[in-house]
Each structure stands twice: as C-alpha cells, then as structure tokens.
Structure 1
Amino acid sequence: MPPGVEDPADTVAALTRAVPGVAGLHPGMFGEVATYLPGRRVSGVRFTDSGLEVHIVVWADAPVRRTAALVRESVAAAVPGAPIDVTVEDIATRDQPAGAVDAG
C-alpha cells in the first residue's frame, strides 16, 4: 500500500473510535479479533468472507444499543454493501487508567 494511504481496517478503526460512547476497540477474549497487516495488526476489526466484525468497549454512561447502532451506521459508509456485526465486548468507566480501555 502506498505511503499515506490507509488500509480499510484503519479507516474502520478511526470511524469507530470517533463515535460518541465508544471507549475503544476490543481484540476479543483471546486477541482473535484483528486485521493483520505487514508488521502490525488492527485489533477489534476483522474482515470475514461474510462481512465485517467490529468489537468495541462502550462507556458506562453511554446507551449500549444506540452506540452499537451508531458504529454500524458510521462504518457502513466506508464499507458499502458489507454486513457489519458490532459486538460490545466490555463496558468502561471513566476512572480507568489511560491506555486500559482501548486495546486496539
């Protein structure tokens, strides 16, 4: 990929993190939810033969279902036509230490 051009997984991750209520991306129970790229991985985003999976952590004061729906709507513009499954893996509180929320 040419310099300065993002991978679709990076775009999905950035769009997801920008949704109000999203505390971060989540790599799944065993770190299995990721897109593997040369020399790195994008945790919490996985493209499959049947669509796209996005795994998130939601702030405790955010409406869970609405936040997941907003993620789906936001990402749909970047991945038109693909089924998007959003899984809420965890709930975070605002008093968690920096870096403890987004595992992505």
Structure 2
Amino acid sequence: MALNLRSLALANSTPYGTAGKTVNWYNYGTADAVATVIAAGYFNDARAKLKVNDVIEALCVADGVGDRVSLIVTAAPASGNVTVAVNTDAGGA
C-alpha cells in the first residue's frame, strides 16, 4: 500500500540548541507491514513535513496483530527518496 498522509500525525515538536532548531515526533498508524513502511520512498508524500532526525512512532498491521516500530528519518531530500531507519538502543547507552 501507500502512505496515508492523514495518518501521519505530529505529536510533539521539541526545541533544542539555538536558532529555532526542533525535532518533530510523529505518530503513524497503518495496515502496512513494517517491511513496507521502512522501504526507501514510502514516506515520499510527506517530504514537505519531514526532516532528518524526526521520529516516527508507527503501529503497523493496525488491522491485524499490530507491530510497533520506532523510526528516525535519515534523509528527506527535495527530490529522491525519503529514507528512515529503525531506531535501536542508543549507541552511547
């Protein structure tokens, strides 16, 4: 399936540093499988919203046995594919 832009909801915007920098936190629910959601280009229709290091908390297979995944946006170019990575434990933890 494809991204349902209406299901990508901004939950919070957290400021950090200077010059109005923020990290955005999104919630997303979909019937799509995790493998589909993490594929390069899945979030292309949201490129105007997303930026590198934004976080997406996704509930995949929402109409079945749900599978939650935490994603970090790794690229959100003006053209080309938006990419995400599955968030794992912090490297410095």
TM > 0.5 between the two?
no
Tell me which protein shows more strand as a share of its residues.
Answer: 2
Normalised TM-score (structure 1): 0.29
